Amino acid sequence: GTSKPATARYRGDCQQRWNGELPTKLMKVLLTGSQGTVGGAFRRVAAVRGIDVHPWNRAEVPPEEPSAVHALMKRVQPGAVLHLAMGAPAWAAQMAGYSAEERIPFVFTSTVSVFAAPGPHGITSERTATDEYGRYKADCEDAVLKASTAAVVVRLGYQIDPHGPGNNLAQH
């Protein structure tokens, strides 16, 4: 879509500002999907690097309740939001919008399944998903980028972590 170049521009701006160092503000991350393969790996790396991770607990804060989502984000006041969990596009959009309002970096993990054919694919490549999962992730991407042109969408291929839980290529 048309917002993809803004994503690339934001990523470059972050690299210029940070010079390879995490700013102190980013030392607190709100993390969805903390029990999954990627979330578990992030938690392990964050622990080593001294990053305070606040995992999202759906039992305490249901994603389908916008007022609860907003209240959690206000209470936690993260320096960044990493949305790695499965959930409704509206949830992803709400977090991306709040992050944009507060000028907080927001990262959403998507998938290469938004493409029907093997790659390589570029940032502006047309998404051609033919399965339900790929279409769902494309809908989430659209919702996130509509809510925030500063959001970063990361499309993952395989999840490989022999120590992690979840959908994991190393388990097959």
- Cis amide leading into 5 (omega within 30): no
pLDDT over threshold 50, residue 48? yes
Q: Is the dihedral of CA 88, 105, 168, 132 positive or negative?
A: positive
Give the residue with greater pLDDT, 8 vs 103: 103
pLDDT at 25: 54
User: Length of the chain in residues, anyone?
Assistant: 172
Q: How far apart are CA 34 and CA 133, in angstroms?
A: 20
Strands (E), the chain: 28-32, 52-55, 80-83, 106-111, 152-156
Predicted model pTM: 0.80
pLDDT over threshold 60, residue 10? no
Percent of the chain with pLDDT over 90: 61
Mean pLDDT of the chain: 82
Digit-coded pLDDT (tens) for 55-72: 999 999 999 999 999 999
DSSP assignment of 142-171:
HHHHHH-TT-EEEEE-----TT--SS-GGG
pLDDT at 82: 96
Containing H/E element for 74?
A: helix 66-76
pLDDT at 85: 94
Give the residue with greater pLDDT, 4 vs 146: 146
pLDDT over threshold 50, residue 128? yes
